[in-house]
Amino acid sequence: MDPIIALDFEDLETTQAFLAQFDPTTPLFVKVGMELFYREGPAVIKKLRMQRPVNIFLDLKLHDIPHTVEKAAYQLGRLGIQLTTVHAVGGSAMLEAAKAGLLAGAADANVQAPKLLAITHLTSSTPAMLRTELSITTPLPQAVQHLAAVAQAAGVDGVVASAQEVPLIRAVTASDFLIITPGIRPAHTALGDQKRVVTPKQAHELGSSGIVVGRPITQASDPIAAYQQIKAEWSDHQ
């Protein structure tokens, strides 16, 4: 899986201008998050595909009662995307409802159903925040491991987690369970608001299935060179 570029832009125009820097015949894997999707709506998926071949990770992090999540996931399943997300802390019933909604939506639209990823704990989370603000006394790595096991048991295809927790997740999940890792920063780059970060090489060595990279590419002075460097570091270890 190629590195997933996080398209954290405010509108379609800015997003397309960024993507126009890349060879239009080169397939890319991109992440569409809340900001862009809420601004442009579901039509953004079709519009991105008009410009170039893309696989799309739609990262909306659904979290609500099971019925509401199932209905929302049904709509997402119709879009022909490749990956999407829910929060693991919503519990097994919500995770199962999300999976059912995606499958039903994809079937009705006659498209392949996206893989469902559960968010464990965000890479901006810290042990102190979990302990003092959420009253979670379980150590962060073990809390992530537990949520991954819950997600797999609920039929979810994988999780989003820091690469630092990948070995723990691998210990309690199947070999084909996806572990997609954000918080990727090449050496000598700013961390921003990420707390639990690794390099592309380290992510591979720890067992990540795929990596998500945003600002080190989108805010680079030469985004294509930055992408190629990250892709090479990641792919050289595949």
194 is in an annotated binding site: yes
- Superfamily the domain 4-235 falls into: Aldolase class I (3.20.20.70)
User: Residue 94, exposed/middle/buried by CB under 10 A (0-12, 13-18, 19+)?
Assistant: buried
- Mean pLDDT across 110-117: 98
Q: Which tens digits make up the pLDDT trace of 34-52?
A: 999 999 999 999 999 988 8
pLDDT at residue 144, as a whole number: 93
Q: Which tens digits make up the pLDDT trace of 160-182?
A: 998 889 999 999 999 999 999 99
71 is in an annotated binding site: no
Which member of 61, 71, 195, 231 is catalytic?
A: 61
214 is in an annotated binding site: yes
60 is in an annotated binding site: yes
Say whether 230 sits in a helix, a strand or coil: helix
Q: What is the distance between the alpha carbons of residues 44 and 153, in angstroms, rounded to a whole number? A: 33
State yes or no: is 46 an active-site residue. Answer: no
Other CB atoms within a 10 A radius of the CB of residue 174 amount to 8
Task: Give one DSSP letter per residue of 103-139, joined into a string.
Answer: HHHHHHHTSPPPEEEEE-S-TT--HHHHHHHS---S-
Q: How confident is the model at residue 187 (pLDDT cuts 50, 70, 90)?
A: low
User: Which H or E element spans position 210?
Assistant: strand 210-213
Task: Output 209 or 235, whichever has higher pLDDT.
Answer: 209
Extents of the domains making up the chain: 4-235
Q: What is the distance between the alpha carbons of residues 63 and 130, in angstroms, rounded to a whole number? A: 18
180 is in an annotated binding site: no
28 is in an annotated binding site: no
Q: How confident is the model at residue 193 (pLDDT cuts 50, 70, 90)?
A: very low
